[in-house]
Every structure is written in structure tokens, then in C-alpha cells.
């Protein structure tokens, strides 16, 4: 039963695809550092 659910979930489009791309851009613009600079930039850009 679980495998049917997981296969169905894999076929669905990713609802966070745009947010993932934006987070990668923020990560790259912060010199590949994660933490406070990333979270503050994310808040300013309206993602969080």
C-alpha cells in the first residue's frame, strides 16, 4: 500500500520548485554560506 502512495507522490509536480530555485540563488549570492546571511536575505526577498 505504501509503495502506491509514494509512486503517486513522485508523479505530482513539485509545488516548491520555484522556492528551491530562489534559495539556490540566495545561497550562491551569499558566497555559498548558509545561516544568518541566507535567512536574512530570504526574509528580505519575501520567501520566508
- Give tens-digit pLDDT for 1-48: 578 889 988 999 999 999 899 888 888 887 777 776 667 777 777 766
Q: What ranges do the domains of the chain cover?
A: 16-48
N residues, the chain: 48
Q: Please tell me the pTM assigned to this model.
A: 0.55
Buried/exposed 3-41: b ≥16 CB within 10 Å, e otherwise: eeeeeeeeeeeeeeeeeeeebeebbeebeeeeeeebeeb
Contact (CB, 8 A) for 18 and 47: no
Amino acid at each position: 500500500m505504501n509503495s502506491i502512495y509514494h509512486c503517486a507522490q513522485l508523479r505530482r509536480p513539485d509545488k516548491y520548485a520555484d522556492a528551491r530555485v530562489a534559495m539556490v540563488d540566495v545561497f550562491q549570492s551569499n558566497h555559498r554560506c548558509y545561516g544568518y546571511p541566507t535567512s536574512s536575505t530570504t526574509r528580505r526577498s519575501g520567501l520566508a
